[in-house]
Structure 1
Amino acid sequence: MPDRDSRQVPSPRAQPGADPETDRMDETDRADESDAERRRRRARFLRDLAEARELRDRVQPRRVKTARLRHAMRMRTFRW
């Protein structure tokens, strides 16, 4: 069994393709990206986020109920 120091453990920030030098888009590339493309990516991100929330809500129903009750209490005590 190899000792702990001899194993190579990647750092949490080290990810494939995460080199800031090569992945950085320069200003001309950003200008070429259309608004429609940016909106499409944003819409996909928001759909994925909503899907993840729904999954979490199904997996942890007690937490969801507690959050719903807290929100209702905040809304009742909020003064317009």
Structure 2
Amino acid sequence: MPDREIHDMPSRDHDPGPESEVRTDAERRRRRAQFLRELAEARALRARVQPRRAKVARLRRAMRMRTFRW
């Protein structure tokens, strides 16, 4: 990375304040919510495309839940 200038490199001694911590936490929650929405959409698509496999997975999950001891 010799062609990069020093001001392009992130500073290691920069201490983010609580304001940026809150912002990054909100960003993390937003990104996580987006990821979970996309994951649910992908699972729904898989269930539509492979109904037999989805049904078997549903039955296996139900069996696991029935045999799980609280």
Q: TM-score range by the shorter chain?
A: 0.5 to 0.7
Which structure 1 residue ranges, 5 or more long, are not aligned? 1-24
The one-letter code sitting in structure 1 at the alignment partner of 2:33 is A
Which runs of 5 or more residues in structure 2 are unaligned? 1-9
**Cα shift at 1:60:** 0.4
SS of the aligned residue for 1:40 comes to helix
Question: In 2, Cα distance between the equivalents of 1:76 and 1:40?
Answer: 34
> 2-side partners of 1:26 and 1:55: how far apart?
44
Ranges of 4+ aligned residues in structure 1 off by more than 4 Å: 25-28
Partner SS, residue 56 of structure 2: helix
Compare relative contact order (CA 8 Å, sep 6+) and give the higher one, 1 or 2.
2
**Structure with the bigger percentage of helix:** 2
Q: For residues 1-80 of structure 1, what are the structure 2 equivalents within 5 Å?
A: 31=16, 32=20, 34=23, 35-80=25-70
TM-score (norm 2): 0.60
Residue-pair matches, total: 54
